Every structure is written in structure tokens, then in C-alpha cells.
Structure 1
């Protein structure tokens, strides 16, 4: 007599939404680092257009790093908190509906699997077995694509965003402060554009897009931002407004 065995998941293969979650976090990290690179580089290059004194450049850059990291973290916290509240509200609504009208919910789950291509008999059997195993989980997955055990954390998102921004901001700060005064601006331009090309290509790789096109877009945008802030700073310095 044969005994049925539970299916075994391969440990080296991604299951459920694990891979998607990891890619989303990685993509967010790349974007946060990209923001850190561009925004801080634009600030320090703009100030370098006014003065060659390292003091004002350091102060402006540090302010940009701290302010930018806090702003990124706060924005991510607010955004993810709203998403979390929405997910929790949907979960509570589904839990209430299952308690108040279980037959209607079973029929709804059956209809969902019928719409996916299963026969009425098979869809009904699947719906009943999933309901018996975990009714709430089955409905959340089928109707809303939500996992009750995988609710996003606003604090984790905020911390990850701030760290990514800080990681990106380190490059322009070092590039503008460490070299001699006569090469600090062109060296910062070069270092930042190379870094942007890398982050753009990585972001495209994560999303499955063209790495070359993404890198070119990011580099052009970053170069425009750096050039604009440097020219404005230089104009303010030579015109006397910054004095």
C-alpha cells in the first residue's frame, strides 16, 4: 500500500514571493544609493563652483547627507505605513467576511479557481481543501495576493532607505574633499558619472530592462544636474551674490 508524501520544496530554489521581495528591496536600495549620489554631488559641486575652501563644501555636503537621509527615511516610512495600514484593513475585512458568511466566501474562492481554468468540480475541491487548511490565507492569496505573515515593516523600509542613501552619498563627499583643489570638481564629475552608470545598469538588470539604455539615461540626468548646480554656483560666486 502506497503512502502519500508531502511535497518537498527544494532549498536552493525561490518559492512564493521570496525572490520578488528580495528583488524589490534590492531595487529600492539601488534607487536610494542613486539619490544619495546625485543629490549630494549636486550640492557639493554647486558649492565648489563658488569657493575652493573645503570648509563650506564639507558643511553643505554634510547637511545634504543628513537631510537627505532623513528625508528618504521619512518618505519611505510614510509610504510603507500607508501600505501596511491598507494591507491590515484588507486582512481584517476578509477575516470578518469569513466569520459572517463562510458559504459565500467558499463560493467566491471556488469561482476564482474556475476563472483560472479549473473545472467546477476541481475548483470546488481545491477551495474546500484550502479553506479547511487555512481559510484566511487561502482567500488572501487568491483574492488579494497578500500573505498575512509578510506584512511590510515601515521601520525596516525607512532604515534601508536611509542606509542606501548614506552609502551613495559617501562617494561624492570623498571625491570632492580628498583630491587637490585643482582637480576636485572634474574628478567628482567623473566618479559620480561612473557610479551612476553602475547603479543604472544594476537597476535595469534587476528589472530585466536594457542595462545600456538605463545607464545612459541616468548618466545624462546626473551630468545635467551636476553641470547646472556648478554653473549656478560659479555664477553666484563671480557675480558677488554669494559674497
Structure 2
């Protein structure tokens, strides 16, 4: 497609492998650490213990998120590469069958059989291009555009750390009341949800309120648990 034909619109990058772990990491860090801090604060008034719990939650959560993202994306990538290798072997050992299969996919999409056969023939003249078209049609992936596990892990680690730091920050700055952490977390939760609406079809207020509600529910549950455990003297 020429640059001129594409000049009337632009698409955002949806395959870079950073957006999902970044958004999920920030949301998870904010919600989980605020809930953790609320739970600890319900069981003790010792701000050093509360801050220690929040710091431990930040470190453990960020490392866990990064490790989980790396393994998950690496496994997904390795599976895709294995299936792409199968397709590459099929193209080399059964080129005629693969060409007919490709032509049939065009026919199924409404292209005339003769034209579909000619398009498939021309594509098949270039092995790398043929592999990419077959992989997209059959696997839904492109050989040169697979997500990076390192990008996913780093994005998740950094975004979780930032999200988890926000509810902890008031205690690090000397606060002695959960209300400060609640206020910062509430604003951050709503803002994070509103920011996400930029890359989705939802309105900013809907996304913001939804994220605020999720965080509030998580904090309420852990606060109740912490209060019960603290009252029991465990």
C-alpha cells in the first residue's frame, strides 16, 4: 500500500507488547498495594510496620509481575515460533499444496478463483512473503512481529513499581493516617482509569469510576480482614 493511500488515517501500535503489561502492571500495583496497606493499617497503628508492608508489597509484586510476564510472553513467543517453523517446512516440502491452500483462502474471502490463484502464485514466488501471509492467515501472527518477553517484563516491572509506590508515598513522607494514602490512591485510581480511556472506546469518567470502584472494593475487603485479625490479636 502506498504512503499516499494510507495518508488519510493512521493506526496506533497494537502489537508492540508493552501496552497490556504496562496498564495491567500499573493498575495491579496501585490496587494491590493500596489494599495491602489498608489491610495492615486496619490491624496496627504502627506506621513503620505499615510502611514496611507496603515496601515489601511493592518489591515482591514488581518482581513477581515481571517474572510472570517474561515467562508468559516467552512461552507464547516460543509456541508461535514452533508453529511458524512447521509452516516454513510445509512451504518447502509441499509448495503446490500450500499455494492452493493460500488461493482457497482468497476465494473464501470473495476473490474470483482465477485471480486468487494468480495472487497466490505471485506471493509464493517470494518465500519470506509467502511465510508471512500463511502465518497471518493460519496463526494470526507475523514472524517478524512477535511480542518481546523482555519488553513485557520491563514494562510490567516499572509500571507496577510506580503504581505500588503511590499509596505508600504518604507514609514514606511522614503521614500517620490511612486517609492520606486513601486520598492519593483514590485520585490515582480514577486518573489511571481515565488515562486508559485514551486508548479505548470508553469515556474517561466511566473508565475512571470503574477503576476507582475496583480499588475501593479490594481495599474494603482487606481492611475488613486486617481489622478482624488485629482485633483477634493474631
CA separation in 2, counterparts of 1:78 and 1:236?
35
TM score, norm. by length of structure 1: 0.85
Q: CA deviation at 1:33?
A: 0.2
Cα deviation digits, residues 74-98 of structure 1 (max 9, x gap): 2212211221121111111100101
- Tell me the SS of whatever aligns to 2:2: coil
Q: CA deviation at 1:237?
A: 3.0
CA separation in 2, counterparts of 1:119 and 1:79?
41
CA separation in 2, counterparts of 1:192 and 1:68?
17
RMSD of equivalent CA atoms: 2.3
Q: CA deviation at 1:70?
A: 1.4
Q: Which runs of 5+ in 2 are unaligned?
A: none
Aligned position for 2:134? 139
Aligned position for 1:89? 82
Cα deviation digits, residues 150-205 of structure 1 (max 9, x gap): 12222221121111100111101103332532xx3112112212211222233344
CA separation in 2, counterparts of 1:191 and 1:153?
33
Tell me, yes or no, if the aligned pair for 2:190 and 2:208 is still in contact at 8 Å.
yes
Aligned position for 1:29? 22
Tell me, yes or no, if the aligned pair for 1:42 and 1:230 is still in contact at 8 Å.
yes
Q: CA deviation at 1:54?
A: 2.6
CA separation in 1, counterparts of 2:190 and 2:100?
52
Aligned position for 2:196? 203
Q: Which runs of 5+ in 1 are unaligned?
A: 1-5
The question of 1:219 aligning with 2:212 is answered: yes
Describe the shift of the 1:128–1:174 C-alpha distance in structure 2 as closer, same or farther (beyond 3 A).
Answer: same
Q: Which of 210, 214, 227 is matched with 1:234 structurally?
A: 227
Tell me, yes or no, if the aligned pair for 1:27 and 1:206 is still in contact at 8 Å.
no
- Moved segments of 4+, more than 4 Å: 9-15
Tell me, yes or no, if the aligned pair for 2:21 and 2:69 is still in contact at 8 Å.
no
The question of 1:188 aligning with 2:171 is answered: no
TM score, norm. by length of structure 2: 0.88
CA separation in 2, counterparts of 1:86 and 1:7?
33
Aligned position for 1:158? 153
Number of aligned residue pairs: 231
